[in-house]
Structure 1
Amino acid sequence: MPIIVVSNPKGGTGKSTTSLVLGTTLARHGASVTVFDCDPNKHLVAWRDGPSASAVKVIGHADSSNIARMLKAEAAERQFVVADLEGTASLLVASAILAADLVVIPMQGSAMDASQARRAISFIDDQAAAVGPRPYQVLFTRTKPGFATRDERAIRDTFIGAGVPMLKTDLAERAAYRSMFTFRQSLEEMDPTAVNGLDKAIENADALVAEIIESLRGMRKAA
């Protein structure tokens, strides 16, 4: 089943948050999900060691010698596999990209993030030169609903003009996403009296997952 890898060489773009939101939201809708934590900080492993009853399986011991095999093995058993990759252009990242059905590139609306997103795209294109196209989509993270800075608008326009595939749904700035790591629970498990905006965060997460699933379906039909 589909392998989704989340990659950007820049730190702080929301890779781990994106991976956790995708994994737990898919699981909330009944899918079997494995999430690979390839970030040296192991935030997702720490989350899994918490009290959450979510059925998401987290694997934190993959390396460059086995990541592709492990991703494929989990995909044969689970409905979705998500991989949170380390923030560097490494052999592990290259191997994971080659195994992926979709690469999601999270970025914030800044020139520095845009530059690193372009690096990620170039890295993906380099892998594609050897084995064929690797589908990818840029995901804007930590955006403010209903408001976009001038920088963000300019970057979006530049990407559109260059034909860069972008997800229409952003992963908005929500306190609830940070609280998932604080309380080590999924969105639906947290107490709405302790975490602000849970309903909006769940709505955003559902929209993002729905769009990614639709993208995967479209890619499968095209293939």
Structure 2
Amino acid sequence: MDVITFANAKGGAGKTTAALLLASALARAGHRVMILDADPQRWVSRWSEEAGTIDNLSVIADVSTSSVPCHINDARMAGVEYLVIDLAGASDPLVTTVLGLSNHVLIPVQGCAMDAKGAAQILDMLNTFKEQAGIDIAHSVVLTRVPPMVTTRALAAVKALLAQRGVHVLDTAIIERVAFREMFGCRGTLFTMDPLRVSNLLKAQKNAQMFAEEVRGVLPRQAKIRHFVRDKRKMRSVPSKSLSIA
């Protein structure tokens, strides 16, 4: 089972939209998916309550620092293939705990300085895990809310800039689409919306599918979930102050 976490210390970076797109596309492809809604705003949980039962997709709300390891174990025992976690746009013990238990961290970034700073804070936390606890957590940046008219050259320039700093950037950016905004108000997923009522829905669906396929490609072939007790021992070696973000 893969644990995929969406994190950015700044709110409004597109974490929840990206998490729901990934989860729904994976479920659409026939994979068993669970979302842990660890964002106090509970947007995914609210969507789930309106959408009702979705094949291969379940949502867990009311996630806490102490409950995360239990949710992970329960999901694994239930045969879940992909556990997607949507974190709050903040830095707190819950964020630290979830990052430490993730197989891959996806950091959504829009083209603004504040998003970049929020991403840098998450990258600093991941680097601290590696240097002080010996936990090397794979991670990638995903560009979000990219205007449809942005040229390939412009996107390539952004990716090159991040790559120069040693940051892996997914090739598939999440394009700004009406369908992605309306997804939270529909009774279903991006793949059950009416193409006659939503503009460029097919392009939005294709974008989500390409995003999911690329994420699957960067994950280990045989993901291994670290045992919580072992990680907890390692975490004791990391001063709590060094994992906090001012």
TM-score by length of 1: 0.91
How big is each residue's C-alpha offset from its partner over 1:119-150, in whole Å with a ceiling of 9 and x where there is no partner? 11111212233142010000000112451599
94 and 42 in structure 1: CA distance in 2 versus 1, 3 angstrom threshold: same
Alpha-carbon distance, 1:35 to partner = 0.2
Alpha-carbon distance, 1:71 to partner = 2.1
Q: Percent identity?
A: 32
Cα RMSD over matched residues? 2.1
Residue in structure 1 matching 2:172, options 153, 169, 174: 169
Structure 1 window deviating more from structure 2 (176-185 vs 14-23): it is 176-185
Q: Secondary structure, in 3 states, of the residue corresponding to 1:189?
A: coil
Number of aligned residues:
221
Where structure 1 has 5 or more consecutive residues not aligned to the other structure, the ranges are none
Structure 1 window deviating more from structure 2 (89-98 vs 121-130): it is 121-130
Where structure 2 has 5 or more consecutive residues not aligned to the other structure, the ranges are 224-246
153 and 79 in structure 1: CA distance in 2 versus 1, 3 angstrom threshold: closer
Structure 1 window deviating more from structure 2 (163-172 vs 121-130): it is 121-130
Alpha-carbon distance, 1:110 to partner = 1.3
Residue in structure 1 matching 2:150, options 147, 153, 159: 147
Q: What letter is aligned with 1:204?
A: N
Residue in structure 2 matching 1:120, options 109, 119, 122: 122
Q: Which residue of 1 aligns with 2:239?
A: none
Q: Which residue of 2 aligns with 1:99?
A: 101
Alpha-carbon distance, 1:32 to partner = 0.7
CA contact (8 A) 1:109 1:152 kept: no
Are 2:215 and 1:212 equivalent residues in the alignment?
A: yes
Q: Which residue of 1 aligns with 2:28?
A: 28
Alpha-carbon distance, 1:214 to partner = 0.8
TM-score by length of 2: 0.83
Q: Which residue of 1 aligns with 2:241?
A: none
197 and 52 in structure 1: CA distance in 2 versus 1, 3 angstrom threshold: farther
Larger radius of gyration: 2
Work out the CA distance in 2 between the residues paired with 1:154 and 1:26.
29
Q: Which residue of 1 aligns with 2:229?
A: none
Residue in structure 1 matching 2:199, options 192, 196, 201: 196
Structure 1 window deviating more from structure 2 (78-87 vs 120-129): it is 120-129
Runs (4+) of structure 1 moved beyond 6 Å?
149-153
